[in-house]
DNA sequence: AAGTGGTCTAGACCACATT
DNA sequence: ATGTGGTCTAGACCACTTC
């Protein structure tokens, strides 16, 4: 186990279980590095990761302090994970998909631009409605280059595509560039998502990147408003 | 100027202006550190910041590569800034506020919890409609501890509160924990935001933290859907 | 003046990918 | 076997805050 990860986990636990409380001043980097028997740089890396996770703040010249987090923020922190595919977010629920379209096509100019490919390349076009315990909650339109995501089959898209990519293809997903907007639902969406006319929807447009740097996914998903939520931590300029 | 910031800016510019192109393999950390005349650790810090900004990706054992960004992503990157108050986002537009309420009260249990204060503390309660060029686009309900944000006056809340906090009070805003949801507008919102009945709204609920670690703001803002957009980069586990 | 976190170094060793 | 990025060190010096 990497030392800075071990220290990170240890200190995160101490914040969550109350060993360190809100606004408490922590021992100095020097003291902590002696306590954990690591160099100052390693200690700093552990602490910087805690800052990134929103658990502590550092004040140059003054010290390191536990953030003034409310109780429910702490609970959220203790189970926080960055993005996951829908299947992973609801592990004990039954997530299924209704496939509206699944084909291989040439990309439109928009898709070419988003995925940085040419008109001669092929992409999967996937249109599906995802359901939790048979309740529809999101309509997805996804485009993925065939050259990257080989041998995608109907059985995969009925389950989790992210799972297929990460487990079977052994690719790593590195990051997602995401945009969220809001609008009224269309009649087709009302019908597919089993909503009432006039209900709003949350729109997530995103480009996904693999750890090899390639854009592997451009998708637009339309969420039932009552199942939609997006949480994030924004920081003021780290650089 | 810090060396790693200088290198970060230099390389970012080279990606934006096309000196380095999509998917190109960059020189190794060793070569780059020789070129910039810095140690490997400093070079690594510059590169890690570029990774955080979503411009490059690193592959252990293989090299560092420019991300496969589309043209419009690159444009976005070249002017990207993390969060700003609304006034800062629209510098050439006229941003004004209609104050619906501005008072000092004792916090409700919810506010106590979010701001980590007690029932005896006082908070400002601010309810305002913000407008761009006289067009309303968001209703904000904000609570801020009086003990932190001293001497807040009506003239400040008519302008930008973030500006007051950062310029006059000389506080630094460190981070914001934000949640986005969607719902239908109420009749009151339709009226205040000059919308049509049945229009949806985007809801942003957030807690803001100063660089001294204190929670200084709990706010719920209700956005006209056609003026609302939220962009972000999500990364898979840095730690 | 003393203590804090921030930057930077020169080098060691490790884990992983490619050849 | 070679080259890549990742971790870690021991220590120097700097910038800032507090006393």
Looking at residue B194, what is its pLDDT? 93
Question: How do beta strands B95-105 and B215-224 pair?
Answer: unpaired
Distance in angstroms: CA A41, C1' C15: 20
Higher pLDDT, A70 or A140: A140
Please check whether residue B45 is in contact with residue B32, taking contact to mean a CB–CB distance below 8 angstroms: no
Confidence of residue A81 (pLDDT cuts 50, 70, 90): very low
What's the token pair of residue A95? Answer: 């997530």
- DSSP state for residue A164 in the 8-state scheme: I
Please check whether residue A55 is in contact with residue A77, taking contact to mean a CB–CB distance below 8 angstroms: yes
Judge if the beta carbon of B41 is closer than 7 A to nucleic acid strand D.
yes
Of the candidates A59, A70, A174, the beta carbon closest to that of B212 is on A59
Distances (CA, A) of A203 to A89, A221, B54, B203, B204: 18, 6, 22, 13, 15
Query: Which residue has 């980097």 as its token pair?
Result: A29
Closest CA to B61 of A41, A46, A167, A211: A211
Instruction: Please state, rounded to an integer, the average pLDDT across all residues of chain A.
Output: 85
Shortest distance, CA A234 to any CA of chain B (angstroms): 5
Please write the tens of the pLDDT for every residue from B3-16.
999 999 999 989 98
Confidence of residue B157 (pLDDT cuts 50, 70, 90): confident
Protein residue closest to D6, using CA and C1': B60
Contact B229 A176 (CB under 8 A): no
Looking at residue A29, what is its pLDDT? 93
The class level of CATH for A95-227 reads alpha beta
- DSSP state for residue A27 in the 8-state scheme: P
Please write the tens of the pLDDT for every residue from B37-71.
999 999 999 999 999 888 999 988 999 999 888 77
Of the candidates B22, B209, B215, the beta carbon closest to that of A116 is on B22
Give domain limits for chain B: 3-81, 95-227
- Please state the φ and ψ torsions of residue B105, each to the nearest 5 degrees: -135, 175
Looking at residue A143, what is its pLDDT? 96
Chain A residue with CA closest to B9: the answer is A239
Give one DSSP letter per residue of B127-179, joined into a string: EEEEEETTEEEEEEEEEEETTTSTT--HHHHHS-HHHIIIIIS---EEEEEEE
Interface test with A, best of B70, B222, B235 (most A CBs within 10 A): B70
The residues in A 81-140 lying below 8 A from B, measured between CB atoms, are: 82-83, 113-116
- DSSP state for residue A49 in the 8-state scheme: H
* Distance, first Cα to last Cα, chain B: 28
B95-227: same fold as B3-81?
no
| Distance from C-alpha of A80 to C-alpha of A53, rounded to nearest angstrom | 9
Interface test with A, best of B111, B117, B236 (most A CBs within 10 A): B236
The mean pLDDT of B185-193, rounded to a whole number, is 94
Confidence of residue B190 (pLDDT cuts 50, 70, 90): very high
Distance in angstroms: CA B126, C1' D2: 64
Return positions of chain C under 7 A from a protein CB: 3-12, 15-18
Least confident residue range of A159-173, B15-29, B190-204: A159-173
Q: Is residue B17 predicted with pLDDT exceeding 50?
A: yes
How many contacts does A have with B, using Cβ atoms within 8 A? Answer: 200
Looking at residue A89, what is its pLDDT? 55
Looking at residue A90, what is its pLDDT? 56
A contacts of B60 (beta carbons < 8 Å):
none
Contact A175 B223 (CB under 8 A): no
Looking at residue A238, what is its pLDDT? 44
Q: Is residue B151 predicted with pLDDT exceeding 70?
A: yes
Please write the tens of the pLDDT for every residue from B85-103.
454 455 556 778 899 999 9
Looking at residue A96, what is its pLDDT? 82
A147 touches chain B (CB under 8 A): no
Looking at residue A27, what is its pLDDT? 94
Please check whether residue B179 is in contact with residue A231, taking contact to mean a CB–CB distance below 8 angstroms: yes
Protein residue closest to C17, using CA and C1': B61
Looking at residue B238, what is its pLDDT? 44
Looking at residue A94, what is its pLDDT? 74
The CATH fold assigned to B3-81 is Arc Repressor Mutant, subunit A (1.10.10)
* Residue partners of B140: CB distance under 8 A and separation at least 6: B126, B127, B128, B129, B130, B219, B220, B221, B222
Please write the tens of the pLDDT for every residue from A193-225.
999 988 999 999 999 888 777 889 999 999 999
* Residue partners of B193: CB distance under 8 A and separation at least 6: B129, B136, B137, B138, B139, B185, B201, B222, B224
What's the token pair of residue A32? Answer: 């902590």
Contact A178 B49 (CB under 8 A): no
Least confident residue range of A54-63, A73-82, A84-93, B91-100: A84-93
A contacts of B212 (beta carbons < 8 Å):
57, 59, 65
- DSSP state for residue A81 in the 8-state scheme: -
Higher pLDDT, B100 or A96: B100
Looking at residue B78, what is its pLDDT? 63
Contact B177 A54 (CB under 8 A): yes
Contact A182 B182 (CB under 8 A): yes
Q: Which of residues 8-67 of A touch strand D (CB under 7 A)?
A: 37-42, 45, 59-62
Q: Is residue A157 predicted with pLDDT exceeding 50?
A: yes
Shortest distance, CA A96 to any CA of chain B (angstroms): 23
């Amino acid at each position: 186990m990497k030392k800075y990860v071990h220290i990170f986990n240890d200190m995160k636990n101490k914040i969550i279980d109350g060993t360190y409380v809100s606004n408490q001043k922590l021992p100095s980097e020097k003291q902590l590095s002696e306590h954990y028997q690591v160099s100052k740089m390693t200690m700093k890396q552990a602490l910087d990761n805690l800052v990134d996770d929103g658990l502590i703040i550092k004040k140059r010249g003054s010290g390191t302090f536990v953030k003034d987090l409310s109780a429910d923020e702490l609970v959220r922190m203790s189970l926080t994970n960055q993005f996951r595919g829908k299947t992973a977010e609801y592990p004990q629920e039954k997530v299924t998909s209704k496939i509206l379209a699944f084909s291989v096509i040439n990309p439109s100019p928009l898709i070419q631009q988003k995925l940085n490919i040419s008109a001669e390349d092929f992409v999967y076009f996937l249109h599906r409605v995802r359901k939790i315990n048979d309740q529809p909650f999101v309509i997805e339109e996804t485009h993925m280059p065939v050259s990257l995501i080989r041998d995608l089959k109907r059985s995969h898209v009925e389950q989790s595509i992210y799972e297929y990519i990460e487990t079977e293809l052994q690719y790593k997903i590195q990051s997602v560039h995401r945009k969220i907007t809001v609008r009224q639902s269309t009649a087709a969406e009302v019908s597919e998502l089993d909503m009432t006319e006039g209900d709003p929807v949350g729109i997530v447009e995103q480009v996904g990147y693999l750890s090899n740097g390639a854009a592997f996914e451009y998708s637009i998903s339309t969420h039932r408003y009552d199942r939609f939520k997006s949480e994030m931590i924004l920081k003021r300029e780290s650089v």
